[in-house]
Structure 1
Amino acid sequence: MSKLLLSLETSSPVCSVALHQIDDGKLIGQSELRLEKSHSSHLSVLIHQLLENTLHTLPNLAAVAVSDGPGSYTGLRIGAAAAKGLCYALDIPLLAVSTLRSMAYQVASRTARSEQYLYCPMLDARRMEVYAAIYRSDATEVLAPTPLVLDQATLAEHLAHHSLLFFGGGAQKFQPLVGSNTRAEFLSGVEPSAVAVGALGVAAYQQQEFQSVAYYEPFYLKEVHTTTPKNKPGQ
């Protein structure tokens, strides 16, 4: 039986899982759920339903790949906990795939003449801020994942020399600032996907780029901001 890779994507409101053959990278199946704040209660159900629908069981898994971030703090924590739990219980390797890199791979793999563009996924942060990175068509990194405050000068140097495709939940905030720059194109409907995480996870498995199951933590990119509720009058 072929080795199987289970991939988990929980960095966004879309919770998705996918199953790939490691030997040839073939996609066996996928499932996703689009419900806000549903990851904690539905991720394990999606995993078991996917395995059942593809006639596989947990012992058939050879590795688990998880979306590494950036993204939703809570979502990333849920995905990491599930992936680590499976890897520990089954004694199999853990792989981590950049959320932004997987989004770039997803778009480049279905773009005609893909080598003519650079790919800039943007995930929405607070106000006019996004998490962004830039990749070539082969998913190699041009600009490492970074928080960006958007204005008319953002990424101007890259746009002066390259044609860029922008996509993801944060791209719509940037589009009005670019104006009529013909080197900037915007794509809608692109969201993080476990299918892309799995495709890059297969390559990572073959390179033995394994994570420590005990010590792995997602790449949050920024510290989580918490506040202490103020006491009500009289308390």
Structure 2
Amino acid sequence: MATILNIETSTNVCSALLADGDRVLMERVCREPQNHARLLPVFLQEIITFARENGAMPQAVAVSAGPGSYTGLRIGVSSAKGVCYALNIPLIAIDTLEIIALQAIKEVDWEAIYCPMIDARRMEVYTALFDSKRNLISPTEAKIIDQGAFEDILRERKIVFCGDGADKCKGTIQDKNAVFVDNIAPLSRNMMKLAEDKFDRGDFVDTAYFEPFYLKEFFGTKPKKIF
């Protein structure tokens, strides 16, 4: 078993957790939006201090790699890289949608298709499809949700929709085979198994060159002219 520091900042929830295999050593979570830049450094300092005092220094850092919030992902990845450089340990990248899918699979435990969704504003979501064994069925995409979304699959199979992007789709996707699971957010707690598996395989990314999976290019807005 490896001791791994897990960092998740892809949505409004900010979380960090130190795990030894399947055992949680220390966890910090904030569900208030727009606090990542302020709170994540505090969380990491507390966790590293705890790790030093208890002889449980991390052997790797796992970070949620996206898709998700452009700002949130940048904060999480840059912080993860900083810890990796400081401690000379490897970096593990975890698919954010798989983190959400894993949590839903644990809670529902059905033979179904799982559709994690991250809100991408308006009626667009970042999404992918997984089976109940977490095998990827349909790759990650930015999808506009309308009444015909997923209709071909819903004719034959039950789909479990989850994540903050699924909340706004309830009124649009109305089918007997559409199941919505509330209160599913990507958390560092649900990265533990995924990170451990990648550590065991030696599946690390290049710390220097790794970039989050933004999926869509970020476009900033120009400030309005006052005069």
Match of 1:12, SS?
A: coil
Residues 86-134 of structure 1: CA deviation (Å, up to 9, x unaligned): 111111110000111111011112323x3x1111111111211111111
TM-score (norm 2): 0.93
Work out whether residues 3 and 19 of structure 2, in 8 Å CA contact, stay in contact via their aligned partners in 1. yes
Match of 1:28, SS?
A: strand
1:198 match: 192
Query: Structure 2: which amino acid aligns with 1:208?
Result: G
**Matches of 1:155 and 1:130, distance apart in 2:** 13
Residues 138-176 of structure 1: CA deviation (Å, up to 9, x unaligned): 211111111011101111122122111111111122111
Per-residue deviation, 1:57: 6.3
Work out whether residues 20 and 199 of structure 1, in 8 Å CA contact, stay in contact via their aligned partners in 2. no
Per-residue deviation, 1:79: 0.4
2:10 match: 11
Percent identical pairs in the alignment equals 36
TM-score (norm 1): 0.90
Unaligned runs of 5+ in 2: none
**Matches of 2:140 and 2:7, distance apart in 1:** 20
**Matches of 2:134 and 2:187, distance apart in 1:** 15
**Matches of 2:90 and 2:61, distance apart in 1:** 7
Choose the corresponding residue for 2:176, options 151, 171, 182.
182
Work out whether residues 3 and 56 of structure 2, in 8 Å CA contact, stay in contact via their aligned partners in 1. no
Superposition pairs of residues 1-235 of structure 1, within 5 angstroms:
3-22=2-21, 25-52=22-49, 56=53, 60-112=57-109, 114=110, 116-179=111-174, 181-233=175-227
Match of 1:110, SS?
A: helix
Ranges of 4+ aligned residues in structure 1 off by more than 6 Å: none
Residues 36-71 of structure 1: CA deviation (Å, up to 9, x unaligned): 211112112112323455775697110000001111
Aligned-residue Cα RMSD (Å) equals 1.9
**Matches of 1:215 and 1:52, distance apart in 2:** 28
**Matches of 2:106 and 2:166, distance apart in 1:** 19
